[in-house]
Amino acid sequence: MTRVLLDTSAYSFLVRGHSGVRDILRSVEAIFVSPVVIGEVLCGARNTGKPRKYEEDLASFLGSPRLTVLGIDAETARCYAAIVSGLRKVGKPVPVNDAWIAASAMQYGLPILTADAHYRRIPQVIVEMFSPR
C-alpha cells in the first residue's frame, strides 16, 4: 500500500499515539483526507475543553508534505449516490459521513484506513483495518 485515505477513526487514533496507525502512515508515500474527516475532527474539538489545541494539531497534520485534502465534486456525488443506493437496496446502510468518505475513496481508488468495520459493507472500496487495541 503506497497511498491511503484516512477516516476519522484513523486520525483520532493517530493523535492518541496508536503505534499501528503511526507505522502504517510512516510506510505510505501519500496520505489523503476528505474534508468530511476535517469537519468531524473540528466538530469533536469544539466538544472538548481544549479546542484550540486540537485545531492546532489538525493544522500541523494537514501541513504535512505527504498529505492531500481531497475535493468533493460532482464525481464524488455520483460515487456517493452509487454507494448509498446500493447499500439501501441490501438493507445495510452506513453513517452518512462515512458514505461520503467512501465516495472519495471510490473516486480516487484509495484504500480507507479505519477501525470501523461497517466500511467492509461497501463493495466499491478497499478497506485497510487496524485494531484499536
Which pLDDT does position 49 carry in this prediction? 82
Which pLDDT does position 32 carry in this prediction? 98
Which pLDDT does position 4 carry in this prediction? 98
Strand partners, 113: 6, 128
Q: Which CATH superfamily is domain 3-129 in?
A: 5'-nuclease (3.40.50.1010)
Q: Which residue ranges in the chain fall short of pLDDT 70?
A: none
For the chain, give the DSSP string. --EEEE-HHHHHHHHTT-HHHHHHHHH-SEEEE-HHHHHHHHHHHHTSS-HHHHHHHHHHHHT-TTEEEPP--HHHHHHHHHHHHHHHHTT----HHHHHHHHHHHHHT-PEEES-GGGGG-TTS-EEE----
> CA-to-CA distance for 56 and 54, rounded, in angstroms?
5
Burial class (CB in 10 A: 0-12, 13-18, 19+), 2: exposed
Which pLDDT does position 26 carry in this prediction? 94
pTM score, whole prediction:
0.93
Which pLDDT does position 89 carry in this prediction? 96
